[in-house]
Structures are given as structure tokens and as C-alpha cells.
């Protein structure tokens, strides 16, 4: 059965149709450009842009899948965490369709969707069976998580200040690379020497697997000329970008080493979230995994950053896991989107019959 999903938690408007056995029938993603002059996502602009883009996007996605609305078996949407205006727009679009078509509406946790992406058929070499060690590195999150089952996420450690993507975005801003920053830093770093600039690696070597990036970000700021920031030559900027990327990768690898010791026999090392699109980090993670004899799974780039395929897949995994427990498909028509929705609350979904 095809499941349609909508993603509108931040600045990407996305729609996808995925079958319950994990075949992607259609996927569309629109990255909003209205935020560029502001150097970051403006929530009110984002919500309005989702509102104007979604109806046509939904129609185009159905057409691309060569399906009629009544072919859909369920409708899902990201209902948090994220920017509340956009979440309301996406959830209400999904609920409206669910009511009109008389199908269940499934509310998806956006972070859970990132966390389960690697289980889509064809991504992980082994299908990423539970339990696996997840490194979640996105715009708003940076955590090591033991994924023990659908709904069962044990946080091993996380950032005590900035998220990894946030650090990339701030460094991009300092270097005048505009927004969004991660891909721009990576591109510039290709021309630079990762060992050119000495930068700190906060918390590296410490017990546990917490992260800290704010000191690294400040150190990058201190390498910039105070007056005219554009006075940095292209080579200097590239060296700084490459050194920053190297520092982030060193930190992540060190922290993961500790996370691995905090978990019993993970089947796989999985990376997820927008920063997982970074090529240098991916290469280091692959190396780390093979050194520890762990299969490694990273989604293709378009499924690392925000997308609706992962939302559909999380809805499907939830349906299947509940079915295995003798529970019906969730019907979340009355659920209000939540700006905050911790993963620790997802276990309740696997025990409570909420219909
Ligand atoms: P969250 O999922 O935590 O709510 P989000 O949805 O805004 O946050 P994602 O879309 O998962 O975040 O990721 C976006 C982040 O990924 C941005 O901070 C962006 O700079 C970063 N990013 C994207 N591509 C790259 C890259 N190639 N290298 C480094 N960072 C990247
Ligand atoms: Fe995201």
C-alpha cells in the first residue's frame, strides 16, 4: 500500500509516496530560497512558503507516482519537533487529505524519521537490524543514540551547546559564505589544508560521549581579522574551513569511540541528519566503522537532509511495529503538532492503544 508523507518542519517543503515494503514511488523537495537575504530561517516566511507550495507539491507527487488520491492507504506528516507554523501547515494538509479520503493520519516525529532512514531497503548493507549505534548530526541535533527498536531510543550523549550543523552554519556566516552553510563550508574546504590552522577539539578524550562545539566556533572567529573580514584571502579562508571540518570530524570520531563502549553489541554504525551529507565526515566514519568491524550505513545525500521519504518510512515502521504488538494503525487526527517532541516519549506509542 502506498503511504504519502509531508515534511514541513523547517525550510524544506517535501512530499513523498513510499510503499509499505519500502519502495519509493515519488519524492519531491523544495528548498525555500526566501531566507537567503536573512542568513537563516525566518519562521513566519517558512510557514507561508509551505502553505503556498504544498497543494501543488502534493498534486505533482501523486502525478509522479502515477496514482490517484484514493490509491493512498495512509497519510503521514512531520508533527514535531520543528518550527510550529510550518508543522501546522503540513499536519493540517495531511489531516485534511486523511479526512477527505477516509484514511488514517499518522503523526511522525521528525527526529525519529532521521533515525530510521538507514533502514529503508537498499541503504544499509545489512538492513541495519536493531540495536544499532546512531550518530545523529543535523541542524538542531547532535547526539549518539542506541536505537533498540522502533520507538526505543536510548540517548548515550549529546551536545552541551551547539548542534554540529549549527556550528557549520555559523562558521559559514563568519567566512561570508552565505546560507545554508554546511555545503558551502565543505566546498571551500576542498581547496584548503586541514592541518593549516590549529583549532581546539573541545571535550575530546573526556569520558562519555557528549559534544561541545561552541569553543571551536569561537576559536574560528578569533582567527578572522577583526576589522575587514573580507581581508582573508581565499586560500586562508579555505584553510580555515578545512581545519574546522577536520576538527569536527576528529571530535565526532573520538566521541563515537566512547559511545561504542557504552553500548552492547550494536549491529551497525548509522549516521543520519543533514551533516551526514558531509563527504569528509562520511569517509572518517566509514574508516572508524571498518576499524571496529562494524557495518556502516549512511543514507544517500538527499535523504540525509530534510525530506519526506524518511517521514513516510517512519510512519511505515511505526505501523509495522505496532502491528507486531497487536496494536492498530495509529490515528493521530486529533494530535497537535509539537515544537518540542523528545525521542524519549516515542516508546509510549508502542504500548498505548491510542485509537
Ligand atoms: P533537525 O533535523 O535537527 O530538526 P534540520 O531539519 O534543520 O534540523 P537537517 O535538514 O537535518 O536539519 O540538516 C541541516 C543542517 O545540515 C544544516 O545545519 C546544514 O548546514 C547541514 N549540512 C547540510 N549539508 C552539509 C554538508 N555537506 N556538510 C556539513 N553540514 C551540512
Ligand atoms: Fe531535519
Mutational pocket test of ligand 1: of 165, 281, 282, 342, the residue with most ligand atoms within 8 Å of the beta carbon: 165
- DSSP class per residue in 272-293: ESGGGG-HHHHHHHHHHHHHTT
High-pLDDT (> 90) share of the chain, %: 92
pLDDT in tens, 187-220: 999 999 999 999 999 999 999 999 999 999 999 9
Across 33-37, 65-69, 287-291, 316-320, least confident range = 33-37
- State residue 113's pLDDT score: 98
Q: Is the pLDDT of residue 227 over 80?
A: no
**What average pLDDT score do residues 139-161 get?**
97
Q: How many Å apart are CA 104 and CA 44, to the nearest integer?
A: 29
Cβ(95) – ligand 1 distance below 6 Å: no
Nearest to 297 by CA among 36, 122, 80, 91: 122
- State residue 343's pLDDT score: 97
- Residue 230: band (very low, low, confident or very high) from pLDDT cuts 50, 70, 90: low
**What average pLDDT score do residues 240-247 get?**
98
- Residue 231: band (very low, low, confident or very high) from pLDDT cuts 50, 70, 90: confident
Ligand 1 centroid – CA 162 distance (Å): 13
Torsion over CA: 244, 248, 251, 253 (sign) = negative
HSE of 73 in the Cβ direction (CA atoms, 13 Å)?
14
Nearest to 259 by CA among 248, 270, 247: 270
- State residue 350's pLDDT score: 92
DSSP secondary structure letter of residue 84: H
Ligand 2 centroid – CA 311 distance (Å): 10
Chain centroid, CA 231 distance in Å: 35
Mutational pocket test of ligand 1: of 78, 182, 242, the residue with most ligand atoms within 8 Å of the beta carbon: 182
Q: Is the pLDDT of residue 229 over 60?
A: no
- Residue 353: band (very low, low, confident or very high) from pLDDT cuts 50, 70, 90: low
- State residue 4's pLDDT score: 98
Q: Is the pLDDT of residue 292 over 90?
A: yes
Q: Is 253 exposed, middle or buried (0-12, 13-18, 19+ CB in 10 A)?
A: middle
- State residue 355's pLDDT score: 47
Cβ(239) – ligand 1 distance below 6 Å: no
pLDDT in tens, 31-65: 988 888 888 899 999 999 999 999 999 999 999 99
Chain centroid, CA 323 distance in Å: 26
Q: Specify whether the CB–CB gap between 10 and 311 falls below 8 A.
A: no
Residue found by looking up cell 519509493 in the block: 24
Q: Is the pLDDT of residue 354 over 60?
A: no
Cβ(274) – ligand 1 distance below 6 Å: yes
Ligand 2 centroid – CA 267 distance (Å): 24
C-alpha grid cell, residue 320: 509495522
Nearest to 237 by CA among 165, 164, 181: 181
Q: How many Å apart are CA 38 and CA 270, to the nearest integer?
A: 33
Ligand 1 centroid – CA 275 distance (Å): 5
pLDDT in tens, 94-137: 999 999 999 999 999 999 999 999 999 999 999 999 999 999 99
pLDDT in tens, 65-97: 999 999 999 999 999 999 999 999 999 999 999
* Protein residue with least CA distance to atom 5, ligand 1: 139
- State residue 352's pLDDT score: 66
**What average pLDDT score do residues 251-271 get?**
97
Nearest to 300 by CA among 2, 108, 27, 72: 27
Q: Specify whether the CB–CB gap between 145 and 153 falls below 8 A.
A: yes
C-alpha grid cell, residue 106: 499518522
End-to-end CA gap in the chain: 21
Ligand 2 centroid – CA 305 distance (Å): 6
Mutational pocket test of ligand 1: of 142, 305, 314, the residue with most ligand atoms within 8 Å of the beta carbon: 305
Amino acid at each position: 500500500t502506498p503511504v504519502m508523507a509531508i515534511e514541513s518542519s523547517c525550510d524544506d517543503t517535501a512530499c513523498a509516496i513510499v510503499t509499505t515494503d519500502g519502495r519509493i514511488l515519488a519524492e519531491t523537495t523544495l528548498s525555500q530560497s526566501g531566507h537567503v537575504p536573512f542568513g537563516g530561517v525566518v519562521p513566519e516566511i517558512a510557514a507561508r512558503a509551505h502553505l503556498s507550495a504544498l497543494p501543488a507539491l502534493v498534486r505533482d507527487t501523486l502525478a509522479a507516482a502515477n496514482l490517484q488520491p484514493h490509491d493512498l492507504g495512509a497519510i503521514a506528516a512531520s508533527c514535531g519537533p520543528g518550527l510550529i507554523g510550518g508543522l501546522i501547515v503540513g499536519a493540517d494538509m495531511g489531516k485534511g487529505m486523511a479526512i477527505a479520503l477516509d484514511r488514517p493520519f499518522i503523526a511522525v516525529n521528525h527526529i525519529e524519521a532521521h533515525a530510521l532512514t538507514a533502514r529503508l531497503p537498499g541503504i544499509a548493507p545489512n538492513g541495519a537490524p536493531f540495536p544499532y549505534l546512531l550518530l545523529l548530526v543535523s541542524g538542531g541535533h547532535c547526539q549518539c543514540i542506541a536505537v533498540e527498536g522502533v520507538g526505543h531510543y536510548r540517548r548515550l550523549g549529546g551536545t552541551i551547546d551547539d548542534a554540529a550543523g549549527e556550528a557549520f552554519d555559523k562558521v559559514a556566516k563568519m567566512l561570508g559564505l552565505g546560507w545554508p552553510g554546511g555545503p558551502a563550508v565543505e566546498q571551500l574546504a576542498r581547496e584548503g589544508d586541514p592541518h593549516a590552522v590549529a583549532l581546539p577539539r573541545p571535550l575530546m578524550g573526556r569520558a562519555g560521549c557528549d559534544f561541545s562545539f561552541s569553543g571551536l566556533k569561537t576559536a574560528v572567529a578569533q582567527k578572522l581579522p577583526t576589522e575587514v573580514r573580507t581581508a582573508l584571502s581565499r586560500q586562508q579562508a579555505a584553510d580555515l574551513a578545512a581545519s574546522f571540518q577536520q576538527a569536527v570530524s576528529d571530535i565526532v570520531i573520538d566521541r563515537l569511540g566512547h559511545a561504542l563502549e557504552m553500548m552492547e553489541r550494536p549491529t551497525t554504525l548509522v549516521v543520519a541528519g543533514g551533516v551526514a551529507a558531509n563527504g569528509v565526515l562520511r569517509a572518517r566514519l566509514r574508516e572508524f566503522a571498518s576499524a571496529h568491524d562494524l557495518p556502516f550505513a549512511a543514507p544517500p545525500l538527499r535523504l540525509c537532509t530534510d525530506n519526506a521519504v524518511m517521514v513516510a518510512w517512519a510512519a511505515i515502521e511505526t505501523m509495522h511495529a505496532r502491528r507486531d504488538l497487536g496494536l492498530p494503525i495509529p490515528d493521530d487526527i486529533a494530535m497537535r503538532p509539537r515544537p518540542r517532541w523528545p525521542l524519549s516519549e516515542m516508546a509510549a506509542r508502542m504500548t498505548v492503544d491510542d485509537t
